[in-house]
Structure 1
Amino acid sequence: MDGLRLTKGISGFDAAHLIEQDMRMFQSMVYHLVTSEQRAKVRQFIDQAPFVYMQAVIEIDRETLTILHHRLMPYIAFAKQEESSFTFLSKTHLHKYFPMRKCLEAETLTTLLTKDEALHSLSATEWKYVSYFNSQTIGDVMFNGWD
């Protein structure tokens, strides 16, 4: 499994060069998922600053699942929300509903930042926030609520 390279701006800081992803397109993909999968429904969409991601909370097979769409990059993650943190999940059977997006696996998102630290091209500001908020994993940096 190759590591994921974190590019400058992925944390939401120093991101002027990145293009904001479209919430309506994300909603459309989520609605396609819930109308295609049996026993699935949308609970809510959440799109709020300072979070660097948009969320869809869905119920599928009586399980509540949060789908995260990075605000600045075409990345999707699946998670269970527990209070203010996420436990990332692998849901490969759902990837087909997010064309032109990279659906990230739990294994990638839970990889420690220190594993391939030299690979990442985060800015000095981003590394400062990583340290300040004690972010440990790739997922912590990509799907953060830093403010």
Structure 2
Amino acid sequence: MRLTKGISGFDSDHLIEQDMRSFQSMVYHLVTSEQRAKALQFIDQPHFVYMQAMIQLEDERLTILHHRLMPYIAFAKFDEDRFRFLTKDHLHKYFPMRKCLTAETLNTLLTRDKELHSLSEVEWKYISHFDSKTLGDVIFNYWD
């Protein structure tokens, strides 16, 4: 996967912000369609590069991340101050016109295809400063 300039939230003036209401609508559609599912909380902090929803799905508590500037969705669990990304193929249908990223993609080392990425110098400086290692670290960051 190629990371485009601005995906980190810096140098992103050319990107269009995604809509929180659309994200909420998709999450509510998921929880009303799946058995034993419940929306627990929506978190929308403007300085984060993503919006998130916490849901209960049967016996599992999940976080659904929606990138603020790109139509990307990820499923994760929050462990020890980090997201542990999950692949939930059966949930993709609830997020039309969004790309649901897999754990394999998000856990890919940033250095693997470094020459393909079109990140700006500022983004590379933040990546270095925060010691980001994977695509997921860059796409769903909360750098300050």
Partner of 1:46: 43
CA distance, structure 1, for counterparts of residue 81 and residue 17 of structure 2: 24
CA distance in 2, matches of 1:83, 1:35: 30
5 Å-filtered alignment, 1:100-111, equals 100-111=97-108
TM-score scaled by length of structure 1: 0.97
The code of the aligned residue for 2:114 comes to E
Q: What corresponds to 1:32 in structure 2? A: 29
| Cα displacement (A) at 1:82 | 1.4
Report the TM-score when normalising by structure 2. Answer: 0.99
Q: Please list the CA deviations of residues 87-111 of structure 1 after superposition, one character each: whole Å capped at 9, or x if unmatched.
A: 0000000000000000000000000
- Pick the aligned partner of 1:142 from 125, 139, 144: 139
Secondary structure of 1:11 counterpart: coil
1:59 aligns with 2:56: yes
User: 1:113 matched to which residue of 2?
Assistant: 110
Unpaired runs of 5+ in structure 2?
none
Segments of 4+ in structure 1 off by > 3 A?
none
Match of residue 68 from structure 1: 65
Matched position secondary structure for 1:115: coil
- The alignment's C-alpha RMSD in Å is 0.6
Aligned residues: 144
In structure 2, how many angstroms separate the alpha carbons of the residues matched to 1:136 and 1:67? 21
For residues 33-79 of structure 1, the C-alpha deviation after alignment (integer angstroms, 9 at most, x for no partner) is 00000000000000003210000000001110000000000000000
